[in-house]
A and B are shown apart, each in its own frame.
Chain A
Amino acid sequence: MNSESDKALIKRAQKGDLGAFDLLVLKYQGRIGALISRYVSNDADAEDVTQECFIKAFRAIGSFRGDSAFYTWLYRIGANAAKNHLVACKRRPHADATIEDVDLRESNYALIEISNPESLAMGNQLARAVAEAMEKLPSELKSALTLREFEGLSYDDIATVLGCPVGTVRSRIFRARETIDEKIKEHFGVMGGGYDR
């Protein structure tokens, strides 16, 4: 199973549901923004191109058939948007990067230059906080989240592997996420309240 299946959201977005598409934007804007930043050095321009990418994606989403992962489809739109911007500005991409050199493997975006040191520092802090929170999770929660995030197993498969009901899998994954979220909230300046559980 593709661990980044977005079928439910895509289906709604294809029917014109802006709320569903908004969730897709929230999910992928960082990665698409990072891709575009490789070619568009000016931060304001990069943000504009990223916006443009998502607007184009919404308009074309009816043509998305699910043959590839949604992120792959978005990636192509983003890459084209960046290229078009460069052509329009008659600028050359920085460093040695060309559109053709970019590897579509998800892991590659970890190598993308981050032009903003503050963003880099925040990302590192966040990554560390998540790792620490994960390390401290009770083992049953950690196992469930591991099988979901690392293995991309469906809930049914996780239930089979762990020998527990699907409802328990749902609950454990949720509790694991909530535990980690409580630890990382401070990185987002989230005030107390709102979701007292």
Chain B
Amino acid sequence: MIRKYLIKQLVFSGLFWATYLCAQPLDKGGSIDQCLESPHTEVLLERLLAAYPSRNYEGTVLFERPKERHFLSVSWPRAGYQGELRRLNVGGEESKEFWPGPTRKFAEVCDLARAYTVLSSEGRVIAGRPTHRLTFKPRDSLRWGHIFEMDKETGLALAAQIFGPNQSVLERFEFAEISISAESSAETLEQSPISDNREVIPGFFEVKEGAKVGIFSVSDGFATASVFVEPLPLGVPLGEGAVVEGATLVYSRGVRFANKSALISVMGEVPVVTGRLLAETFRQALGDS
């Protein structure tokens, strides 16, 4: 289970304040929850954010990326407050993989509204269930766009896409079939707010919990990027490179600071510019440490 935060104290210059300033929502008259122009869209988004993990479900998913297609069997929850995934088209014995259940609400409507323009429309019928469609258009070029088609009855996401420039689809999934129970048998979700240690770095990303091994992760509520810092392997020159698979970027940069060198790698469903900016933020922090 993920328990510890890895909150690295970065040296934020005026960049932090200016970025935070630009990320602040404008004062709106009325309730603090009215962060979207359309109350209907806001209600749908709240339902999407609340549906998992509050519903048990089990089903078969088609997951696609360029030149890849996988059929997955997924179910939530399993023992130990985790979900289970089995890959159905892998040759040989099926192996089970797990994902951890969240310990708090992972995103707030207002946080997402700062990073995305949210639009709602009628969705398709997916796995025999009618859906609403929520489109998240990025407000800047530091993140991709998202489309969710959520079950009208329960709010669960039955299909989703991540799209890049010119509406190019980077990855998508869709439930081929699903069964959903009335309510979850999982442990009660702790509805605590995001930690007070939240920090903002370029493009409005908040620091979220780190993994067991203490990676530094940032998220805007949908897109997550993890930063790994390790010694630069022997013989590796300074430079940078990246590989992208579907929506997932891995960007690595070999840097020198003081008398040391390091390899900073950023992994996440973000564009290269964001990977670069995150790596640069860490490079500067290393330089100041």
Contact = CB atoms under 8 A, between A and B. Distances in A.
A29 interface: no
Contacts of B24: 131, 135
A132 B138 CA distance: 18
A138 to B, nearest CB: 10
B18 A140 contact: no
B202 A150 contact: yes
Contacts of B141: 139-140, 143, 162
Contacts of A2: none
Contacts of A150: 15, 18-19, 202
Nearest to B139: A139
A161 B273 contact: yes
A183 interface: no
Interface residues of B, number: 22
B273 A162 contact: yes
Interface string A141-174: 0110010011100000000011000000000000
A135 B24 CA distance: 8
A106 interface: yes
Choose among B21, B24, B26, B141 the residue with the greatest number of A CB atoms under 10 Å from its CB: B141
A142 B18 contact: no
Contact of B202 (A127, A131, A151, A162): A151
A107 interface: yes
A140 B21 CA distance: 18
Nearest to A164: B141
Given A107-B14, A134-B22, A150-B202, A143 B140 contact: yes
Contact of A151 (B17, B138, B139, B277): B277
A143 B280 CA distance: 16
B276 interface: yes
Interface string A109-138: 010000000000000000100011011000
Interface in B270-289: 272-273, 276-277, 280
Choose among A107, A110, A150, A162 the residue with the greatest number of B CB atoms under 10 Å from its CB: A150
A83 B18 CA distance: 32
A149 B18 contact: yes
Majority DSSP secondary structure for residues of A touching B: helix
Contact of B138 (A131, A134, A139): A139
B142 interface: yes
A142 B276 CA distance: 17
B13 interface: yes
Nearest to B277: A151
Contacts of B273: 143, 161-162
A172 to B, nearest CB: 11
B13 A146 contact: no
Contacts of B280: 151
A169 to B, nearest CB: 12
Contacts of A135: 22, 24, 26
Nearest to A131: B21
Contacts of B202: 146, 150-151
B26 A151 contact: no
A111 to B, nearest CB: 12
Contact of A146 (B140, B272, B276): B140
A115 to B, nearest CB: 23
Given A150-B19, A150-B202, A106 B140 contact: no
16 contacts: A105-B13, A106-B13, A106-B14, A127-B21, A131-B22, A134-B22, A135-B22, A135-B26, A140-B141, A142-B22, A146-B19, A151-B15, A151-B202, A151-B277, A161-B276, A162-B273
Interface of B: 13-15, 17-19, 21-22, 24, 26, 138-142, 202-203, 272-273, 276-277, 280
Given A131-B24, A134-B22, A140-B141, 17 more contacts: A106-B14, A110-B17, A127-B21, A132-B26, A135-B22, A139-B138, A142-B139, A142-B140, A143-B142, A143-B273, A146-B19, A146-B140, A146-B202, A150-B15, A151-B202, A151-B277, A151-B280
What 6 A-B pairs come out closest when comparing CB atoms? A143-B141, A161-B273, A139-B140, A150-B15, A107-B14, A131-B21
